[in-house]
Amino acid sequence: MANTSATPAAAHDQDGSRRDFLFLATGAAVAVGGAFAAWPFVSSMRPDAATIAAGAPLDVDLAPITDGQIVNVFWRGKLIFVRKLTAKEVTDMKAIPLSELSDPAPFDARVKSGHDQWLVVYGNCTHLGCVPIGHQGNFEGWACPCHGSQFDAVGRVRRGPAPINLPVPPYTFASDTKVRIGEEGGKAAA
Amino acid sequence: MSAHATSTYVPKSRIAKWFESRLPLVGLVHGSFIAYPVPRNLNYFWTFGAILSAFLGIQIVTGVWLAMHYEPSAGAAFESVEHIMRDVNYGWLLRYAHANGASMFFLAVYVHIFRALYYGSYKAPREVLYLLGVIIYLLMMATAFLGYTLPWGQMSFWGATVITNILAAIPVVGDSIQSLLWGGYSVGNPTINRFFSLHYLLPWMIAGVVVLHVWALHVTGQNNPAGIPIKSSKDAVPFTPYATVKDAFATVAFMIIFAWFVFYQPNYLGHADNYVPANASVTPAHIVPEWYFLPFYAILRAVPDKLGGVILMFGAVIILAFAPWLDTSRVRSTNYRPVYKVFFWVFVVNAILLGWLGAKPPEGGYVIVGRICTVYYFAHFLLVMPLCGLFETPKALPGSILETVTGPGQTGWDGRQGGQPQDPDKGIPDWAMPDAVKRS
């Protein structure tokens, strides 16, 4: 220190480099610290522990559901349609060629194998989330009152602005007369 | 607020001098709202800034009072609103004033925006002033949407569902944004909690941007129906009493419309479905937003593709921000643009038609007309505005603002029309003129 203070130029340089260092170090600390401080605010807006706990799998008894009936259930606050297809609907849906579909999905991908009569799909239109009305429209399925989308008996979009089919939630058949929504392949949904 | 307008206030009392030398607040107000030079040819379309300020105040005051009785939870919100209506003293007045105040706020802002578009108020040097206005409009839309969800009726719930699903269409980050807004797997209790918090926050942000908006206005000076700048002190009158009284009169007149809705038709602009408690398993037969969003809703529904519809709907608002650079005309006021004038009114009719279509069911002819109107809406900005400025021959502009009031060739007050009481020799003093005028 004694040496450098002897020449003003050298002292200036050293001062400059010290300031640069302090400036960069402070700036880095502020940036990293700011990101750390912001994270709790963002994270607190994500689904909380109680909400996640309330999203556990849901058992639905199929025995009281009759042919052609659509039953509404809620899982994780989301509406789910459980529909028992009639034999005619199964035949009709199987006969539709994939080329007629805007989001092609074969019949087998819409139901669980061995349970052709049972359809389980989310009940909110994939356009903007309205609830389509059952047994309406031209395709034996649903018609959305908001923006005119129509779905067939296995929830495939056939008309209107909905971009994709009604999604199939994770579920398994616990027995022939009971489905467990929110669990698939022995694992609970994330 | 700019330097030239603050230099004249001379505090008289000792207390005023003491305060002014420490914080020149009184001088700022004096320069901005008393001595400020106002073009003398302003018509009543220039009073809507004051009307909007009044409604921002009304919304904040009624909103703060409503929040003393409202409960922001999915289980209690609907009943607490009915509690406000039935049990709280004057609760009905606070709520009806707040709900209809939002509609009046938008009615006034649409007049304000169309005035800016007609008279070219967005053109240089007022681009920043105009952009701040677009930001205020966006904040107003967000605030109005959040507020509409709070009663937790059917329209509230399904409006929240539809709009949050719109945001989910944004590529890559859409799902994360949706989850952060919901605070769960769907619209529910965490959603209404945070929407209430944000609905309380945004008006203060609007107030902040309004301060910037007024600041920018007082730097560039007001535009006027002739679209030409103030050139001499004879072109202007002092803000007080002229603009103050005119603004106050127009505001009171506008309040008559407001009062008519509040006291005689409080639910006319709302939807009966919102008096049905939120139900996640049934969507109302015809889900429509409040009237002030209908044109954009029509654009959303005109596009048969989800992401495309969302892009065009937001684009319809955002494109307003590009008007200063899309308009190639050297003339500001449409009064002197014979060709553009026709296109302007077609645009107004088209916008109103879109609003009407937004309230109709999404089927058949409505969709086709909606598509035509959507295309025209964008064509106005992207084709008419640039091309009209290049090919149109504008009418001759008046020599001065004074001339538009007194008639051509009249530069003094002998031949004045309309009984202007201002003696030109006692008019705006030179110190009060905008810098540009002083230099010339």
pLDDT value for B171? 87
Element (H, E) at B115: helix B91-118
Which residues in chain A have their CB less than 8 angstroms from residue B181's CB?
45
Residue B420 in any domain: the answer is no
Asked if residue B360 lies in contact with residue B366, where contact means CB atoms within 8 angstroms, the answer is yes
Residue B332 in any domain: the answer is yes
Which residues in chain A have their CB less than 8 angstroms from residue B183's CB?
45-48, 51
Q: Residue range A68-88: average pLDDT?
A: 94
Q: Do B184 and A51 touch (CB under 8 A)?
A: yes
Q: Residue B145: which pLDDT band, with cuts at 50, 70 and 90?
A: very high
Task: Verify that B115 and B252 share a domain, yes or no.
Answer: yes
pLDDT digits (tens, 9 = 90+) for A126-138: 988 889 999 999 9
Work out the mean pLDDT of chain A and round it to a whole number: 88
The beta-strand segments (E) located in B228-360 are 236-238
Residue B413 in any domain: the answer is no
Q: Do B190 and A48 touch (CB under 8 A)?
A: yes
ipTM of the complex, rounded to two decimals = 0.74
Q: Which residues of B touch A (CB under 8 A)?
A: 158, 161-162, 164-166, 179-188, 190, 194, 280-287, 301, 303-307, 309, 361-363, 367
Q: Do B283 and A146 touch (CB under 8 A)?
A: yes
Q: Residue range A94-119: average pLDDT?
A: 93
**Domain carrying residue B82:** 42-268
Residue B413 has pLDDT above 90, yes or no: no
Q: What are phi and psi of B239, to 5 degrees?
A: -55, -45
Q: Residue A13: which pLDDT band, with cuts at 50, 70 and 90?
A: low
Task: Verify that B180 and B233 share a domain, yes or no.
Answer: yes
Residue B275 in any domain: the answer is no
| B271 annotated as a binding-site residue | no
Q: Residue B423: which pLDDT band, with cuts at 50, 70 and 90?
A: very low
pLDDT digits (tens, 9 = 90+) for A48-70: 898 888 888 999 999 999 999 99
Residue A17 has pLDDT above 90, yes or no: no
Residue A119 has pLDDT above 90, yes or no: yes
pLDDT value for B425? 44
Q: Do B161 and A77 touch (CB under 8 A)?
A: no
- B38 SS3 class: strand
pLDDT digits (tens, 9 = 90+) for B305-356: 888 988 999 999 999 999 999 999 999 999 999 999 999 999 999 999 999 9
Look up the pTM and report it.
Answer: 0.85
* Active site residues per annotation of A: 147
CB pairs under 8 A between A and B: 91
**Looking at the partner chain, which of B158, B280, B306 has a beta carbon nearest the beta carbon of A77?**
B280
| B213 annotated as a binding-site residue | yes
| B98 annotated as a binding-site residue | yes
**Where is the domain boundary, B268, B298, B327?**
B268
pLDDT digits (tens, 9 = 90+) for B39-62: 999 999 999 999 999 999 999 999
Task: Verify that B331 and B402 share a domain, yes or no.
Answer: yes
Task: Verify that B10 and B56 share a domain, yes or no.
Answer: no
Task: Verify that B144 and B239 share a domain, yes or no.
Answer: yes
Task: Verify that B366 and B347 share a domain, yes or no.
Answer: yes
d(CA B364, CA B95): 38
Closest-CA residue of A relative to B280 is: A79
Q: Do B363 and A148 touch (CB under 8 A)?
A: yes
A-interface mutation test, from B156, B182, B306, B311, most A Cβ less than 10 A away: B306
pLDDT value for B16? 94
Q: Which residues of A touch B (CB under 8 A)?
A: 42, 45-48, 51, 55, 72, 74, 76-79, 123-124, 126-131, 144-148, 160-163
Q: Do B286 and A145 touch (CB under 8 A)?
A: yes
Q: What are phi and psi of B270, to 5 degrees?
A: -100, -170
- C-alpha of B430 from chain center: 33
pLDDT value for B15? 95
For residue B390, give the CATH number of its domain: 1.10.287
Task: Verify that B10 and B108 share a domain, yes or no.
Answer: no
Which residues in chain A have their CB less than 8 angstroms from residue B190's CB?
47-48, 51
Q: Do A47 and B184 touch (CB under 8 A)?
A: yes
Closest-CA residue of B relative to A71 is: B281
Asked if residue B252 lies in contact with residue B50, where contact means CB atoms within 8 angstroms, the answer is no
Task: Verify that B354 and B399 share a domain, yes or no.
Answer: yes
Give the closest residue to B168 by CA, choosing from B159, B160, B176, B156: B176
Q: Do A148 and B179 touch (CB under 8 A)?
A: no
Work out the mean pLDDT of chain B and round it to a whole number: 90
Task: Verify that B122 and B253 share a domain, yes or no.
Answer: yes
Q: Residue B170: which pLDDT band, with cuts at 50, 70 and 90?
A: confident
**Where is the domain boundary, B268, B298, B331?**
B268
pLDDT value for B165? 87
Q: Residue range A28-38: average pLDDT?
A: 94
Residue A10 or B260, more confident: B260
Q: Residue B125: which pLDDT band, with cuts at 50, 70 and 90?
A: very high
Asked if residue B78 lies in contact with residue B278, where contact means CB atoms within 8 angstroms, the answer is yes
Q: Residue B417: which pLDDT band, with cuts at 50, 70 and 90?
A: very low
Q: Residue B128: which pLDDT band, with cuts at 50, 70 and 90?
A: very high
Element (H, E) at B204: helix B189-220
Task: Verify that B376 and B306 share a domain, yes or no.
Answer: yes
pLDDT digits (tens, 9 = 90+) for B197-215: 999 999 999 999 999 999 9
Task: Verify that B204 and B330 share a domain, yes or no.
Answer: no
Residue B392 has pLDDT above 70, yes or no: yes
Residues 6+ positions from A50 with CB-CB distance below 8 Å: none
Residue B409 has pLDDT above 60, yes or no: no
Q: Do B188 and A77 touch (CB under 8 A)?
A: yes
**Where is the domain boundary, B268, B299, B330?**
B268
Q: Residue B430: which pLDDT band, with cuts at 50, 70 and 90?
A: low
Residue B52 in any domain: the answer is yes
Tokens found for residue B438: 């002083």
A-interface mutation test, from B186, B196, B273, B282, most A Cβ less than 10 A away: B186
CB atoms within 10 A of CB B185: 16
Q: Do A72 and B180 touch (CB under 8 A)?
A: no
Residue B437 has pLDDT above 90, yes or no: no
Q: Smallest CA–CA separation between A140 and chain B, in Å? A: 19
Q: Residue B422: which pLDDT band, with cuts at 50, 70 and 90?
A: very low
pLDDT digits (tens, 9 = 90+) for A131-167: 999 999 999 999 998 888 999 999 999 988 888 999 9
For residue B243, give the CATH number of its domain: 1.20.810.10
Task: Verify that B20 and B136 share a domain, yes or no.
Answer: no
pLDDT digits (tens, 9 = 90+) for B258-269: 999 999 999 999
Which residues in chain B have their CB less than 8 angstroms from residue A127's CB?
165, 306
Which residues in chain A have their CB less than 8 angstroms from residue B180's CB?
42, 45-46
- Give the number of domains in chain B: 3
Residue B430 in any domain: the answer is no
Question: Helices marked H in B119-173 — which ranges?
Answer: 127-149, 154-168
Closest-CA residue of B relative to A102 is: B305
Q: Residue range B161-167: average pLDDT?
A: 88
pLDDT value for B306? 80
Single-letter amino acid code for the residue at B316: A
pLDDT value for A184? 85
Q: Residue A7: which pLDDT band, with cuts at 50, 70 and 90?
A: low
pLDDT value for B375? 97
Residue B431 in any domain: the answer is no
Residue B435 has pLDDT above 60, yes or no: no
Residue A4 has pLDDT above 80, yes or no: no
Residue B306 in any domain: the answer is yes
Highest mean pLDDT among A35-49, B4-18, B260-274: B260-274
Q: Residue B362: which pLDDT band, with cuts at 50, 70 and 90?
A: confident
Q: Smallest CA–CA separation between B187 and chain A, in Å? A: 8
Which residues in chain A have their CB less than 8 angstroms from residue B285's CB?
145
